[in-house]
Chains A and B, each alone.
Chain A
Amino acid sequence: KAGVTQTPRYLIKTRGQQVTLSCSPISGHRSVSWYQQTPGQGLQFLFEYFSETQRNKGNFPGRFSGRQFSNSRSEMNVSTLELGDSALYLCASSLEGKLHEQFFGPGTRLTVL
């Protein structure tokens, strides 16, 4: 069974631009969560989608948004990029009610210049 895939793996943007990251979950997994990982703050939860609905949301500004499609694939968008948005963005998928058994993708490394 294929794992969680994320595209692109690396991205360089400049301040003020916007970016869209994509995540394909493990087949059969309908819950997709997004995390931001930085050296200073560690892994922080952004949001979780299940059946195309945002079910949980972390403490991030509205510039961070996401969506989920009917095939469970998910995208997250960051608008008006800031230098502090430079991070590894991780996507994780799980079965319903099994957030304690999440499987992570390799992440997208975003650098904002």
Chain B
Amino acid sequence: QKEVEQDPGPLSVPEGAIVSLNCTYSNSAFQYFMWYRQYSRKGPELLMYTYSSGNKEDGRFTAQVDKSSKYISLFIRDSQPSDSATYLCALSNSGNTPLVFGKGTRLSVIA
């Protein structure tokens, strides 16, 4: 079983839709849960991170962590064509341990 599983998509939604992106993981030691956005031919850009469980909101983006189910989600409200990118989840045990990435979900928001 891979440490982090992420559906590669592609996921295509109309502009204005609510998007749900998810990852599952197997290592219960993970404490930090990150979401990165990567545009074509660019490096990943950190959107937000959550420590331990719970929700975190930043503008149109909401991250959720359910440690009991080993399941994390990123919700994008009022999606825009500029949100079209690959979204990567990343997890780590601590601030000093390397990140383990999901393979990314490719999202297309159609105007």
Contacts and interface: CB of A to CB of B under 8 A. Distances in A.
A60 to B, nearest CB: 12
A80 interface: no
Contact of A105 (B43, B101, B103): B43
A104 B99 contact: no
Given A42-B102, A42-B104, A100 B45 contact: no
Nearest to B33: A100
B98 A58 contact: yes
B49 interface: yes
A45 B100 contact: yes
A105 B104 CA distance: 18
B34 interface: yes
Interface stretch (B59-67, B73-81, B89-97): B89-97
Contacts of A103: 46
Nearest to A91: B43
Interface of B: 32, 34, 36, 41-46, 49, 51, 88, 90, 92, 94-104
